[in-house]
């Protein structure tokens, strides 16, 4: 893990230096911050992880148009837990769709 951190830290320094010189390295630097955030969250250093994720999003924001549908990569997006079904699949009972479904279900039983 230490070698991974050192590689990411060197990449961060290189891309930050290139950005200061005017080279377009925003996306690459954002990806490095994302991976550093992943590293820190795996190391249970959540304060540093939050800082790296915020740095990642701050670099993505100016590169996107106001109504762009692109979503920056999220941490652990490819893990099975992120792709698992939501633990609470049904909406809250006061949600309009639930009330409508219940109303239609009650009407269907009245007819039959």
29-64 pLDDT tens trace: 888 998 999 899 888 899 999 999 899 888 888 877
Residue 10 has pLDDT above 90, yes or no: yes
Share above pLDDT 90 across residues of the chain, in percent, rounded to a whole number: 18
Which pLDDT value is given to residue 86? 47
User: Would you call 35 exposed, middle or buried from its count of C-beta atoms within 10 A (0-12, 13-18, 19+)?
Assistant: buried
Q: Distance between the two ends of the chain, CA-based, in angstroms?
A: 65
Q: Are 8 and 36 in contact (CB under 8 A)?
A: yes
Residue 6 has pLDDT above 50, yes or no: yes
Q: What is the pTM of this model?
A: 0.59
Query: Could you tell me the residue ranges of all domains in the chain?
Result: 2-79
Number of Cβ atoms within 10 Å of the Cβ of 79 = 9
Number of Cβ atoms within 10 Å of the Cβ of 6 = 10
């Amino acid at each position: 893990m230490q070698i991974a951190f050192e590689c990411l830290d060197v990449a961060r320094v290189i891309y930050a230096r290139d950005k200061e010189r005017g080279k377009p390295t925003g996306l690459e630097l954002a990806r490095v911050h994302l991976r550093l955030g992943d590293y820190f969250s795996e190391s249970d250093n959540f304060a540093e992880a939050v800082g790296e994720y915020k740095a990642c999003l701050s670099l993505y924001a100016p590169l996107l148009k106001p109504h762009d549908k692109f979503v920056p990569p999220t941490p652990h997006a490819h893990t099975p837990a992120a792709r698992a079904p939501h633990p609470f699949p049904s909406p809250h009972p006061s949600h309009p769709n639930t009330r409508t479904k219940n109303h239609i279900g009650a009407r269907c039983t009245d007819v039959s």
